[in-house]
Structure 1
């Protein structure tokens, strides 16, 4: 290898490194200070950003409400079971779906809507929004919304969960301008590794250890542990005095004066 070729490679590597650093610096990966004291987790500097753009990660009212949300990127055979448990207990949930999921499992998307659940927008192709412009994000969201409308009676989507949990101030701002409400979460654990499931008790313990009033819970439907644990979780939390609410309840609560909410 001559000196010119070697120098060229070094320059290209340097440029690539700078580009990758710039891309990663464009966005934030959602996160919070996990605790086991049954209190709302601290999200630090993110709180001001979420408040500014009317985004949510929890219900901070102090009420013992739980908001079940599921991310559906692909189907592993457990969503029917999850829907059965939700129906048994008359518990609402929001399912954030991708284009692949809608295309491959339109019957399940239709069932979600028919049984009173909310279908949320997880984008069509699951890209990193923090490295995209507004028009590209708009196309991702509208394409997914159209796909859901084709297979179900839900014709509009107002809740958005950003793919990969990536966001920045622009994505929050643009999504709000496009009519979407960002929904993050205050309770989650590593449940999506399908080849590393540890039994329903593991999922149950992870959730009960982190549970707190106002939790927006993120679960993945590809987890066999979650599917088996859900009935136990709902039973236990109801016995502890928790109520299961929909995201519509959460948003309506914030839009109405306290004296009127619940009337």
Structure 2
């Protein structure tokens, strides 16, 4: 009985740790993030259907047989720099739809990604640090970001970073009908192509929320969905400041890690140079999403 109680206590503590650090996102951060998104996405972009109709026609329309149960991306953090665990069903979907949550776990490589819902003034410094350290990253942007921060988006492209699709208005995709899902993705794609002349090929689900139906649609539109294996509740100020940002990344670092950092975080911006240098000192190499087979 004592052993069962101890096991139960450990399980509860682990679950609390996952939720409190923002890894299980659907229930833990939705209310907090909604306020940020309300401020950031105050000018919704309405995709003109006539401009994207030719693109969506190639997508199979019948998705009624696909599971649309909404899931928030969650994983179990393991000690000693082990690869985090996801549920068997999540792994099944990752494999079926060629999604990404880790890269090459047999080598000391990492993949750095940022989410950009709006600009808080830290992205120029983040880009400076990446350039100084010779690191390429992926930035997942929304419609208002492309519209309001065109110069930063062009700088990302010019400096060799990947710019990924985070939808126009950052909605929970499982709550939308097929056509609205396509409009959110293709509307952002068109904004980016009009600005840079380039295509997008990586997609990160807003709020980390997905279903088999949305993974199917995303893949049908030519995108590869990118989740993550290392993250924290950094869309808001961290209690421990830059030191918490640094220590969390280093503690959870593992071979093949896809690191998610929010670029609205002053703590991340201040800790980034130290994070990159320490990761390299640990013998890791920074790769890009293009390097993941």
TM > 0.5 = yes
| Structure 2 counterpart of 1:44, from 61, 72, 87 | 87
| Structure 2 counterpart of 1:33, from 56, 67, 76 | 76
Q: Which moved more, 1:75-84 or 1:32-41?
A: 32-41
Deviations 1:67-109 (A, max 9, x none): 0000000000000000000000110100000001111111100
Q: 1:39 is paired with a residue of what secondary structure?
A: coil
Residue 104 of structure 1 aligns with which residue?
Answer: 148
| Structure 1 counterpart of 2:225, from 182, 194, 215 | 182
CA contact (8 A) 2:141 2:165 kept: yes
Residue 216 of structure 1 aligns with which residue?
Answer: 258
Alignment partners' CA distance in 2, 1:36 and 1:189: 16
Which of the pair has more CA radius of gyration? 1
Alignment partners' CA distance in 2, 1:149 and 1:36: 42
Alignment partners' CA distance in 2, 1:246 and 1:134: 30
Residue 72 of structure 1 aligns with which residue?
Answer: 116
Q: CA deviation at 1:174?
A: 1.2
Q: What number of residue pairs does the alignment pair up?
A: 225
Ranges of 4+ aligned residues in structure 1 off by more than 6 Å: none
Q: CA deviation at 1:60?
A: 4.2
| Structure 2 counterpart of 1:82, from 126, 130, 133 | 126
TM-score, normalising length: structure 1: 0.83
Q: 1:232 is paired with a residue of what secondary structure?
A: helix
CA contact (8 A) 2:141 2:166 kept: yes
Alignment partners' CA distance in 2, 1:133 and 1:94: 28
Residue 4 of structure 2 aligns with which residue?
Answer: none
Residue 243 of structure 1 aligns with which residue?
Answer: 285
Structure 1: segments with no counterpart, 5+ residues = 1-24, 255-263
Alignment partners' CA distance in 2, 1:197 and 1:97: 26
TM-score, normalising length: structure 2: 0.75
Structure 2: segments with no counterpart, 5+ residues = 1-67
| Structure 2 counterpart of 1:160, from 203, 221, 225 | 203
